[in-house]
Amino acid sequence: MQPMTKLWTQTPLNKKMAIIYLMITLATSLIVGLVSYHLSKQIITRSSIEKSQDAVKAVASSVNTFFNAADNTFISIFSNHNLRDYLEHTEMDKGHQEQARRDISAAVSLARQLNNSVIYINIFGSQAFNYTDYYFNSETNRDYHACVSYYEPFGLTDDRKSALWVPNQNAVIGLSNTRLITLVRYTRDIYTLDITGIMTMGVSEASLCKLFQSSNMFIADSDGSILSHYDKKLIGSKLPYASIRESLTNDQKIGTVSFLTDDQDRFFATYSQIPETGWYLISIEDYYQTFQSSYQLKNSIAAILLSSIFISAIILIFVSKALTASLSRLLATMDRAMSGDLSVRFDATSSDDVNKIGIYLNKMLKQISENIDYREKSERLARLSELRLLQSQINPHLLYNTLDSVHYRLETADYQQASDVLKAMSRFFKLSLSQGDYLIPIEKELSLVRYYLEIQRMCREKNIELIIHCDSSLLQMKVPKMIIQPIVENSILHGLGDDHAHGKIIIDVEKSNNSTVVITVSDDGIGMTNEQADKINDAINSLHNGFEQKHYGLWNINHRLKDVFGDCSGLTIQSEFGEYTKTVIVICNVTERDQE
């Protein structure tokens, strides 16, 4: 052992380095090979899964468009003013009935021409009007109450706002059986939203099946029941694979799961949810055929490793001397950098590995310096943002209008009303300051909205109804201060402007899942076009120039939510011109501690 140690101590540094590097190369190559194999296999697998998911998602989008088209057919028929009048009639004479049937028949015929997948359309009014499509008349329901009773077991309720889709319905058209998927919707008074009738629409399952036309693709619900399939004999049966059924119950929008058949053949299923119906489009593919490239990867990596080790041994012999000279300069550069001199740079004199490391070190030092500068700039911007927020909390327009209203009431000797306005304003500003707290419970934020709206009612003399629905378990959840009140203010100033003496603002606070909370603020004001809403959404999601843009308040709320709860949180505007404006706040990564 001693002669070996003596021999090692007498060995020149370049040879020592060559031996050490060769041993390190052998060990590293083996580790890198194993890790590379597993990582590459994961990448190939993930890429194959993503490709499969993208394909299934694209088909699911087409299927969703199919269902949307059917729902739009309902909307196009209900937009007929005559139909809405007929549904409200309690009695109709024979002549009036014939005229109603001709009018609605024309609207139904036009709708079917625009969407040839629609087989029949039946309309039953809650009063006296009934329309049964002449093209299809095998539905047993003959009036409103019978139709409601028939579809209630399928999930039809008075407060249902979305369409009810009922699968696996059979119809006799002519001499043939036709399989249908039935859309069921209540018709409502456009002003009071009272139910005026019910409409049923049969959509051809065969037309739906044409969108995927593959024996390995089909549609199933969350319970695993097959609703549409290339093989019609399978419709109505349960998926035989428990792993797929369990995945569908997890309420995931898209996913992939592998499973074994009774013959021990491995397959994998990719599913994507169809938003319109909540059903799933499922594709089943052979596992080994899809991932066969990952099995070929093993031999390729082994051959590459052997070649790289052999080449490395030859190269190390020639470069060991050059490495010793470059290492000293590299270490000196690193020592100065460690002492705090980030301006130091390595002087690369060649293109060997050590000099490349030196070049990489220079880039790293440059990035560190830039990151430090960026962090300082970000901190300054954060302080400016906080200052702007504090300034915006005391709204000069609100303060001016409130004091002006108080002054008017004092001059008119309406002292009680003046006192009420001042009390509401005092409570509002006391809550908005919140003793300097950045995060406050949702309960306080909602109280802030109530006081603000109370001030607006008294000062602007508007009859604005505020409806708040909040899960009681979320009242103490802490959120950034002033995230709801500015949205309500926008609703009053822009949605319910001077032309609206009455209005309604609805705030819903609910859990989407265990870690996601959704806050929705909607009004029934003038709304805006899709282009205007998209423009606002683009503005509030921009990363820079928040202070200079027109929608700073919404931009500020959106970015404060992302700062506290992560990038998956944020704010989105939805609107329909002349109907409503809805602002949706999504707060994700909510923990039990946040809700205390």
Residues 442 and 516 grouped into a single domain? yes
| Residue where one domain finishes, among candidates 327, 359, 382 | 382
| 294 has pLDDT over 70 | no
Residues 364 and 461 grouped into a single domain? no
| 127 has pLDDT over 50 | yes
| 163/171: higher pLDDT | 163
Q: Given this model, what pLDDT does residue 409 score?
A: 64
Q: Given this model, what pLDDT does residue 521 score?
A: 93
Rounded to an integer, what distance in angstroms lies between the CA atom of residue 426 and that of residue 432?
A: 10
Residues 177 and 150 grouped into a single domain? yes
Report the number of distinct structural domains present in the chain: 3
Classify residue 389 by burial, with Cβ atoms within 10 Å: 0-12, 13-18, 19+.
middle
Q: Kindly report which listed range (431-440, 497-506, 520-529) carries the lowest average pLDDT score.
A: 431-440
Residues 374 and 409 grouped into a single domain? no
Q: Is residue 22 part of a domain?
A: no
Residues 489 and 577 grouped into a single domain? yes
Q: Is residue 68 part of a domain?
A: no
Rounded to an integer, what distance in angstroms lies between the CA atom of residue 203 and that of residue 183?
A: 8
Tell me which long-range contacts 414-422 makes (C-beta under 8 A, separation of at least 24).
417/458, 420/458, 421/455, 421/458, 421/459
Q: Is residue 70 part of a domain?
A: no
410 Cβ contact list (under 8 Å, min separation 6):
418
| 348 has pLDDT over 50 | yes
Q: Given this model, what pLDDT does residue 573 score?
A: 92
Task: State which H helix or E strand residue 115 sits in.
Answer: none
Residues 470 and 536 grouped into a single domain? yes
| 380 has pLDDT over 60 | no
Residues 547 and 401 grouped into a single domain? yes
182-202 pLDDT, tens digit each: 899 898 888 888 888 898 888
Instruction: Choose among 389, 387, 481, 500: nearest CA to 428.
Output: 481
| Residue where one domain finishes, among candidates 172, 192, 209 | 209
pLDDT-based confidence at 509, cuts 50/70/90?
very high
**How high is the mean pLDDT of the chain?**
78
In our burial notation (b when 16+ CB lie closer than 10 A, e otherwise), range 291-306 reads beebeebeeebeeebe
Residues 403 and 465 grouped into a single domain? yes
Instruction: Choose among 583, 388, 588, 590: nearest CA to 505.
Output: 583
Q: Given this model, what pLDDT does residue 394 score?
A: 47
Q: Kindly report which listed range (174-178, 209-213, 300-304, 362-366) carries the lowest average pLDDT score.
A: 174-178
| 137 has pLDDT over 60 | no
| Residue where one domain finishes, among candidates 194, 209, 224 | 209
Q: Residue type for 41, please? A: K
- How much is the average pLDDT of 355-384? 73
CA–centroid distance for 252 within its chain: 12
Distance separating the N- and C-terminal Cα atoms of the chain: 67
Q: What percent of the chain has pLDDT over 90?
A: 5
| 313 has pLDDT over 70 | no
Residues 494 and 560 grouped into a single domain? yes
Written in H, E and C, the secondary structure of 367-395 is HHHHHHHHHHHHHHHHHHHHHHHHHHHCC
| 173/442: higher pLDDT | 442
Q: Is residue 514 part of a domain?
A: yes
Q: Is residue 315 part of a domain?
A: no
CATH for 545: 3.30.565.10
| 37 has pLDDT over 90 | no
Q: Is residue 168 part of a domain?
A: yes
Q: Are 595 and 439 a contacting pair, CB within 8 Å?
A: no
387-426 pLDDT, tens digit each: 455 445 545 556 656 666 666 567 666 667 677 777 777 7
Q: Is residue 360 part of a domain?
A: yes
Q: Are 519 and 484 a contacting pair, CB within 8 Å?
A: yes
Residues 377 and 503 grouped into a single domain? no
pLDDT-based confidence at 506, cuts 50/70/90?
very high
pLDDT-based confidence at 540, cuts 50/70/90?
confident
pLDDT-based confidence at 146, cuts 50/70/90?
confident
Q: Given this model, what pLDDT does residue 422 score?
A: 76
- Fill in the DSSP letter of residue 162: S
Q: Given this model, what pLDDT does residue 583 score?
A: 93
| 13 has pLDDT over 70 | no
- How much is the average pLDDT of 206-216? 81
Q: Given this model, what pLDDT does residue 589 score?
A: 78
Residues 357 and 498 grouped into a single domain? no
Structural Rg of the chain based on CA atoms: 34
Q: Is residue 287 part of a domain?
A: no
- How much is the average pLDDT of 95-106? 79
| 10/357: higher pLDDT | 357
| 213/51: higher pLDDT | 51
| 433 has pLDDT over 70 | no
Residues 90 and 163 grouped into a single domain? yes
Domain hosting 485: range is 394-587
pLDDT-based confidence at 585, cuts 50/70/90?
very high
CATH for 148: 3.30.450
- How much is the average pLDDT of 356-384? 73
Written in H, E and C, the secondary structure of 449-491 is HHHHHHHHHHHHCCEEEEEEEECHHHCCCEEECCCCHHHHHHH
